[in-house]
Chains A and B, each alone.
Chain A
Amino acid sequence: MHPVLSVIFFTVASGAGFGLFSLLFVADFFALGGGFSRAHLLVGGAIALALIVLGLLSSTLHLANPKNAWRAFSRFRTSWLSREGVFAVAFMPLALAYLACIAFDAPLWLRHASGFLSAALAWITVFSTGMIYACLKTIRQWNTPLVPANYLALGYASGSLLLLLGAVRAGLDATPYVALAGLIVAIAAVLKAIYYFWIRSPGLTPTVNTATGLTRAGVRLFDSGHTHGTFLTEEFGYQLARRRASVIKVLLFVVGFALPAVMLAAVLRGSGAEAAAAVAACAGLAGAVMERWLFFAEARHVVNLYHGAQRC
């Protein structure tokens, strides 16, 4: 699939935003490391919301006819894209309510209820984002529960690293935050590793033979019937060499998972904790961008079987 920048930015930013927001609520609820101050909570919440909103806005950039974007909420019952939109929009008032509870010292039950609900919606939204891809039978690399799991893990991993940065800056006890981030980053890394392992084995997927129904002999595309690119080749024709993919994967594990892990240790050691946390957060986000780029670049839509691919 052709990796579109706006979609990459959208999924990474909104994933991180939703992750950050949910974890912020967790930190608030359990008063982790002593608990954030009201001001810090509000700033953290605002940053999370900003990431989400920017992400959502950028996602509309790839719409060819944005004036109809508002209609995207209408197929909640069948479309994960619609669901994602609905959940994201439903999340907003709850998230604002939660922040308002913090700002105006609302009763604790109200603060916790709105916080819990918005955290839950955040989780569902990220899950839906993952499902947008996972529900497509046309793309083997996406059509797996690992995809929403990955989306959640990475969203929460980048959220947890951002949260850690906040905790360090706010001067809280970093230990629980390091533990939280460490755990989530580790889960994300393992899930991603499983995913990469999984997509390597082809499984029973469509081939040029099933795509054409010509099963008695080898089949090879001779001519696609048009000299230059079409919508189909532009949208689906992207092809990434295996070698390059492997290199990017190593890099992604180093930058996205190993580097944050090292930085987490550095945070625990104390000196230069803030810088270490900042590096961890940036590395985590950079890793997420790489992961997302690969996610698209490695996906092979079955329509490629009609443009020269032997299997997808």
Chain B
Amino acid sequence: MRLGLVIDLDVCVGCHACAVSCKEWNASGSIGPLADYQPYGAEPSGVWFNRIRHFEMGEYPHNKTINFPMSCMHCEDADCVTVCPTGASYKRAEDGVVLIDQDKCMGCNYCSWACPYGARELDRATGTMKKCTLCIDRIYDENLPVEERQPACVLTCPAHARMFGDFDDPDSAVSRTVRERGGYALMPELNYNPTNRYLPPRRKPEVSVAPRPRGGLKDSLRQFANRLVRR
């Protein structure tokens, strides 16, 4: 199995719902709490596993805004795991999920240096590195209703811009969507072989405006004729 996420940039409205739901779930989840610094002070900041950036493409008036959520890509060739000296970072053989053992981490930040995607954030309160767990404590929780055994961010996304599934299974919804929509990986040149895929904004649909039989051009009221229509 190779579990991961698909993010549809065509419909992501950049609402940050996934990011907040992630924070909410994981704050009280298996690697919570997640520290917040100066929560009511001058420069609030904190640990998040999912952040939404907003980019602009092209120039006015042909510009497009792209909302861009990012969390751990659960890379196949995850250097964050290779470089970790303590073995706290590991990739699960059975499903490819990359996790951090909070009991082993020494907080050296080295793995975060190795991650191109900014997925890892140090929790200064525990001194340990934290990151997206793919909601491992939801997806395998057999006491949750089946339809809720999904990452919090996927469940909550109001635009349904996020999908979760097994990329090893060619028939899974994620695999099919990636094939059909040309899903791509970020920074492929670094060869991390990330699992998560992004679906590009689609081309805009063409609507025909060819002249129709209905009417010719009317420049004045006089050109309109009454038709017999009963109520």
Contact = CB atoms under 8 A, between A and B. Distances in A.
A152 B198 CA distance: 42
B51 interface: yes
B159 interface: no
Interface in A36-94: 62-69, 71-75, 78-82, 85
B162 to A, nearest CB: 16
A65 B68 contact: no
Contacts of A69: 106
Given A81-B85, A302-B190, A303-B116, A212 B121 contact: no
Given A64-B124, A210-B189, A71 B200 contact: no
Nearest to B89: A75
B191 to A, nearest CB: 7
A65 B106 contact: yes
B109 to A, nearest CB: 6
Given A65-B128, A72-B108, A136-B114, A212 B43 contact: no
B184 A301 contact: no
B43 A79 contact: no
B51 A68 contact: no
Contacts of A204: 189
B156 interface: no
A80 B110 CA distance: 10
B107 interface: yes
A243 interface: no
B58 interface: yes
Contact of A72 (B48, B86, B192): B86
Given A206-B190, A218-B57, A228 B128 contact: no
A135 B103 CA distance: 26
Interface residues of A, number: 57
Interface string B39-66: 0000111111001111111110000011
Interface string B90-110: 000000000000011111111
B132 interface: no
B84 A79 contact: yes
Contacts of A288: none
Interface string B198-225: 1010000000000000000000000000
A241 interface: no
A230 interface: yes
A176 to B, nearest CB: 39
A163 interface: no
Question: Which of A132, A208, A217 neighbours the largest number of chain B CB atoms within 10 Å of its CB?
Answer: A217
Contact of A232 (B83, B121, B126): B121
Contacts of B198: 213
Contact of B59 (A67, A208, A218): A218
A290 to B, nearest CB: 22
Given A68-B104, A81-B110, A222-B54, A74 B122 contact: no
A78 B190 CA distance: 18
Given A63-B108, A214-B57, A228-B43, A81 B116 contact: no
A73 B85 contact: yes
Question: Which of A1, A214, A221, A306 neighbours the largest number of chain B CB atoms within 10 Å of its CB?
Answer: A214
Contacts of A138: 79, 113-116, 190
A79 B82 contact: yes
B147 to A, nearest CB: 29
Contacts of B117: 303, 306
B51 A210 contact: no
A231 interface: yes
Question: Which of B52, B53, B65 neighbours the largest number of chain A CB atoms within 10 Å of its CB?
Answer: B53
B70 interface: yes
Contacts of B54: 221-223, 225
B113 A136 contact: yes
A236 to B, nearest CB: 8
A186 to B, nearest CB: 32
B195 interface: no
Interface of A: 1, 62-69, 71-75, 78-82, 85, 132, 135-139, 204, 206, 208, 210-214, 216-232, 235-236, 301-303, 306
29 contacts: A63-B107, A64-B122, A64-B124, A65-B105, A68-B103, A69-B106, A74-B87, A75-B87, A79-B82, A79-B83, A81-B83, A132-B110, A210-B186, A212-B66, A213-B185, A213-B200, A218-B57, A218-B58, A222-B54, A225-B52, A226-B51, A228-B45, A231-B47, A231-B122, A232-B121, A236-B118, A303-B117, A303-B118, A306-B70
Given A64-B109, A138-B115, 12 more contacts: A1-B113, A66-B127, A71-B88, A74-B85, A135-B79, A206-B190, A210-B188, A213-B200, A219-B66, A221-B54, A235-B112, A302-B116
